[in-house]
Amino acid sequence: MPKYMTKQRKILLEFLEKHADEELSARKIEDELCGSGVSISAVYRNLSDLEKEGKIRRISKSGTREVHYLYTDSHGCRDCLHLSCKKCGRTYHMDTDGAEKLIKILAQSDDFTIDKSDTVLYGVCGKCKNT
């Protein structure tokens, strides 16, 4: 059940919607919202609630203790496979045709069904590969 829409929650949701393709730490979110009246405790509390509601995904990166969050409730994010660059940290949607082919191949060859709402593939993006 969604929580009451406080001013801080509304500001946080608007920020997350604008940064839907980014994995963000709570500290980064708080830094970006500095001056908007959103406290770090409100950030953590709302992130926890949003995770329970299925609106964000909590991501732990190997080699670090820092937790990142990816907003998955935007229209463009639902039912998409995500690609995440290990170098620059950018997360974006996999091409729909490519994702459907991958899902179909896995379903046929390995009798495996992918949960698109919770899938992130990690690698190196074209920009980072070419630099």
**What is the separation of C-alpha 51 from the centre of its chain, rounded to a whole number of angstroms?**
11
Q: How far is CA 28 from CA 33, 34, 113, in A?
A: 9, 10, 34
Could you tell me the pTM of the whole model? 0.65
Residue-level pLDDT at 60 = 80
The alpha-carbon radius of gyration of the chain (Å, integer) is: 16
Q: pLDDT digits over 8-58, tens only?
A: 999 999 999 888 778 888 989 999 998 898 988 999 999 999 999 888 888
DSSP 110: S
Mean per-residue pLDDT of the chain: 84
Question: What length does the chain have?
Answer: 131
Percentage of residues of the chain with pLDDT beyond 90:
24
pLDDT recorded at residue 48: 92
pLDDT, position 70 = 82
pLDDT at 1 > cutoff 60: no
d(C-alpha 92, C-alpha 63), whole Å = 22
Look at residues 71, 67, 92 and name the one whose alpha carbon lies nearest to residue 18: 71
Residue identified by tokens 């926890």 is: 48
Is 73:43 a contact under the CB 8 Å cutoff?
Answer: no
Task: Convert the pLDDT of each residue in 88-111 to its tens digit.
Answer: 877 788 888 888 898 899 888 988
Angular region, 111: left φ>0, alpha ψ -120 to 50, beta rest: left
Are 40 and 26 contacting, i.e. CB atoms less than 8 angstroms apart? yes
